[in-house]
Structure 1
Amino acid sequence: MRISTTALAGLVLGTALAGTLQAPVAAAPPALTWAGCGDGMQCAKLTVPIDWRHPHGRKTRVDLARMPARDPARKLGSLVVNTGGGATIQPVRATPTVVSELTAWFDVVLIDPRGMGDKGSSAAVECDTPQPSIAGLILAPGEAGWRAQARANAAYDASCRKAMGAAYAGLTSWQVAHDLEALRAALGEPELRYFGNSYGTVYGQAYLELFPAKVGRMVLDGVPDHTRPSLERWLTEYARTEEQQLGRFHDWCRAGCALGGDDAIEVFDRLLTRVPLPAGKGTVSKEEFLLAVKEGLAPPVWPRLAAALRKAADGDASDLAKLRPLPPESPGYPAGAMLCHDFMPGLPGYREFQAIESRLRAVAPRIGWIHGRYQVARCVGMGKSPAYPPHPLRAEGVPPVLIAIGDTDANTPHSGAEHLAAQIPGARVVRHGDGHAAYLMQSASGLGATCLRRYVHDYLTAGALPRSGARCPGDLMARIPRG
């Protein structure tokens, strides 16, 4: 069924107003039983209501892992961390250095969102049907491709609903924010000290609104803006950011890359006029070319993109073809469903989307406009409930929050992070030249006491805020080889 823009706006507004009412939490803090679980961690499960609007109803469990402070006698308390991107505990097990330095001051408590969990845990849900490729609407741009993507998403959604059972009804960030509050109480902390990265910032945004009196120090890095009710405005931010990213790649290449003295944007434009491009025994279509370039615009991939464009300009686009996204994971996981419940619980039909896309082309004509299809492909065909749609943030009385914004972050547009920061009283922003998840990536790369990491540590440990207009260099960008 096609939904008009007016109807969609009404759905978003009505559900947002209902969803932001604060539900009561259990009177007694839930008990946590910690036990060693390998890799120097202690694990526990947090038992929470499926729906916090009915706190005495059916329950579900959430996975926790604790990395104890190095010196318990001098620790400053607990720091709750969610790294985004679905699961948190398993990725930190694989790369503990992303957060291990924080144990110099805190017990670092990792929390997985609902439906995700540690390896082998009963809290980790596997959906029989994987989520279809995010590239689906780009590679099949017609109405038939739209319908096929919707069918594939519906099958994925149905398999996650079956796998989670009744717990599927709690798959929104509104519920996760209440889980964070329950965890704060269970830890015995008077306020929540929180580090949210990427999708973990969506849980943080919900917590700011729902529990402003319980907010302690909060760092949000790599922010997806959950405060834009208009789907078109949200997609336009992504489109403009991607177009800017092509310009940044161009500027980076001017200082030396595999393209030699050729102008990167001129090479892009020439290749686009020549599609389909020869690629070994096959070809690269226009859609495949745009998708490959879009994937290559993440800064760590810039050397590969430059080399692939060079090779394509010389007559062989086979390396561009290799930049396409990986096929969907099997089995699937419910994190993708939560994103749809939070950001796109209702979508326009194909013809209405075409009108939106024409306006995206006007503001981002080279590459950015395809982000509309890239984002909508996640959710077309998904069920409309549960839902926690985007809405302006109401977070009065919260203490200062630190928001890190990367100039080269095309994963979560910097304009969205700025839009969020403007709605949080006293929020302080630190801009930097790196991309998405910069704090975690700098930590994992062993860069030492970088500008960004010093700001984060000073704030978390002492409440010291950076000066207004603070800016850090691109410490990771400086290490990208030019090929």
Structure 2
Amino acid sequence: MGPLTRALTALAVAATTAAAPSPPAQALTWRDCGDGMECAKLDVPVDWNRPDGPRTEVDLARMAARDPARRLGSLVVNAGSGSSIQGVRDQPGVVSELTTWFDVVIIEPRGLGDKDSPALVQCPVRGPGIYGLVLNTGEKYWNEHARASAAYDASCRQVMGAAYAGLTSWQVAHDIEALRKALGEDKLRYFGNSYGTAYAQAYMELFPAKVGRMVLDGVADHTRPSLERWLMDNALTQERQLGRFRDWCAEGCALGDDDAIEVYDDLLARVRRAPLPAGHRTVNEREFLLAVKTALTPPMWPALATALRQAAGGDASALAALVPQSDGSGPGYTTGLMLCHDYIPRVPGYREFLGIESRLRKAAPRIGWIQGRFQVARCLGVGKNPAYPPHPLRAKGVPPILISIGDTDDNTPNLAAEHMAAQVPGARVVRHGDGHAAYIMHGLYGLGTTCLRRHIHDYLTAGTLPPVQARCPGDLLAAIPRG
């Protein structure tokens, strides 16, 4: 990178780390919308740098505090990818305990919204999915995937019009600030899960003086300017996940006394020689790798153990069933586009990627290296703008926040979460033995007030931080049947 390029990059980062002028607070009109919720619309500019330009609406939902006498104020929540409002409608238990103390106010990012809401954008063309680039090799397929993604992106741009320019976390952070003002809160209380932590990172940088108590669970690290380093965090975490699966299995699983990694290595060697028989079909090497990667999320460990045992015995049918479909990922929502604009605004060319992949493979040779293709497939062919590129976090002056990091989280890699947490002055980390979205999953599975949930509640309600180097057990992991 030459001096001019470095200077231009520095200017671009400076522009995206500065906050736009903040308008006066707006009044919100709440209406009953079923499932114990009230809904409202937040009217915002498409581009906060152009407050007099085109405008768009953001969906909100509120679950009122159960006891007004104990109410501590509003807590803004974003639960990550997909519609947070629809997710809470389907599974209110994931956040309902928070209404013991707070009005829980759910905010959607641009392009997403409640069912049948105009804010929920569906693009006419579906994306090509994120599995095909793992299953298919060669420059020809790479280019086909890029063309399919470009068509999907173009259709989203067409249907959204001017609103497409708002698909970055920089814009959403400004939306959250507008919501804070509309709620009449002096400081922002916020719970962000998964992609919701990307909005939190932007908010801390843009509005540090307005940060109150903030919980980040399942951190999606937005602080790696180098795509290769970001992919390496994904790859190394995935590689270690195989070891964690082996450790879990050693205490009892379908593999019996067999070492899970030894079974995996033997099957990998076999499938590289010839496809594994799977009933009326076979499983090739790429399908084997994708099946195992998919099932390395802890709730699927029992199925993975059974599939590996059966494959070792000569029938890979159960492994074949774990291979996800590669013909797209449902309706063409815009969620993935924001990820591209935030995390991978520039996808490397085919030859450049092969070099990156070679280095990933050297560092994470068993399974982690395929994360390169898995992640890049999300954005190959998507246009570069708008863009909010990853950069080191500048969050000076924020009060202590609470960050939850799971040992078995390979969705938002725990290595990446640790990298981001180290950049937040005064942040307190609580580590736990569970995987992605642990707070939400504990609520989903009705585990009650677990160690992790207790730490989060104590912090949000009283500002009490966990002890330094606090650790909670894998409460969800312990509930997984070993079968």
* Alignment partner of 1:265 is 2:247: no
Q: How does 1:105-116 map to 2 (within 5 A)?
A: 105-116=101-112
Q: CA deviation at 1:244?
A: 0.2
Distance 1:470 1:402 in 2: 11
Distance 2:13 2:379 in 1: 18
Q: CA deviation at 1:306?
A: 0.6
CA contact (8 A) 1:19 1:174 kept: yes
Map of 2:190 onto structure 1: 194
Map of 1:141 onto structure 2: 137
Map of 1:290 onto structure 2: 289
Q: CA deviation at 1:9?
A: 7.6
Map of 2:278 onto structure 1: 279
Unmatched tracts of structure 1, length 5 or more: none
CA contact (8 A) 1:8 1:346 kept: no
Which amino acid in 2 is paired with 1:480? I
User: Structure 2-normalised TM-score?
Assistant: 0.97
* Alignment partner of 1:24 is 2:12: no
% same residue: 69
Q: CA deviation at 1:16?
A: 2.2
Distance 1:231 1:6 in 2: 20
Map of 2:459 onto structure 1: 459
Distance 2:81 2:324 in 1: 16
Q: Aligned to 2:322, what secondary structure does the other structure show?
A: coil
Map of 1:446 onto structure 2: 446
Q: How does 1:100-249 map to 2 (within 5 A)?
A: 100-249=96-245
Map of 1:353 onto structure 2: 353
- For residues 191-216 of structure 1, give each alpha carbon's deviation from its aligned partner in whole angstroms, at most 9, with x where no partner exists: 11000000000000000000001000
Q: CA deviation at 1:15?
A: 2.9
Q: Aligned to 1:240, what secondary structure does the other structure show?
A: helix
Q: CA deviation at 1:32?
A: 0.5
CA contact (8 A) 1:237 1:413 kept: yes
Map of 2:387 onto structure 1: 387
Map of 1:299 onto structure 2: 298
Distance 2:319 2:84 in 1: 32
Gap change, CA 1:286 and 1:231, over 3 Å in 2: same
- For residues 455-478 of structure 1, give each alpha carbon's deviation from its aligned partner in whole angstroms, at most 9, with x where no partner exists: 000000000001100000000000
- For residues 435-474 of structure 1, give each alpha carbon's deviation from its aligned partner in whole angstroms, at most 9, with x where no partner exists: 0000010011111111000000000000000110000000
Which amino acid in 1 is paired with 2:36? G
CA contact (8 A) 2:147 2:381 kept: yes
Distance 1:406 1:108 in 2: 24
CA contact (8 A) 1:295 1:324 kept: yes
Q: Which has the higher mean CA deviation after the structures are superposed, 128-137 or 44-53?
A: 128-137
Q: Aligned to 1:322, what secondary structure does the other structure show?
A: helix
Map of 2:431 onto structure 1: 431
CA contact (8 A) 1:221 1:403 kept: yes
Q: Aligned to 1:478, what secondary structure does the other structure show?
A: helix
Distance 1:351 1:76 in 2: 55
- For residues 283-327 of structure 1, give each alpha carbon's deviation from its aligned partner in whole angstroms, at most 9, with x where no partner exists: 111000000000010000000001111111111111111112245
Gap change, CA 1:207 and 1:23, over 3 Å in 2: same
Distance 1:43 1:422 in 2: 37
CA contact (8 A) 1:127 1:331 kept: yes
CA contact (8 A) 1:405 1:430 kept: yes
Map of 1:36 onto structure 2: 32
CA contact (8 A) 1:406 1:432 kept: yes
Q: Aligned to 1:33, what secondary structure does the other structure show?
A: coil
Q: Which has the higher mean CA deviation after the structures are superposed, 409-418 or 322-331?
A: 322-331
Q: Aligned to 1:37, what secondary structure does the other structure show?
A: strand
Distance 1:148 1:246 in 2: 32
Q: Aligned to 2:162, what secondary structure does the other structure show?
A: helix
Unmatched tracts of structure 2, length 5 or more: none
Gap change, CA 1:335 and 1:12, over 3 Å in 2: farther
Distance 1:123 1:272 in 2: 46
* Alignment partner of 1:90 is 2:86: yes
State the number of aligned residues.
479
Distance 2:347 2:108 in 1: 28
Map of 2:12 onto structure 1: 15
Gap change, CA 1:132 and 1:414, over 3 Å in 2: same
- For residues 103-138 of structure 1, give each alpha carbon's deviation from its aligned partner in whole angstroms, at most 9, with x where no partner exists: 000000001101100001111100111222211111
Q: CA deviation at 1:160?
A: 1.0
Distance 1:355 1:289 in 2: 23
Which amino acid in 2 is paired with 1:282? R
CA contact (8 A) 2:129 2:329 kept: no
The CA RMSD measured in Å over matched residues stands at 1.5
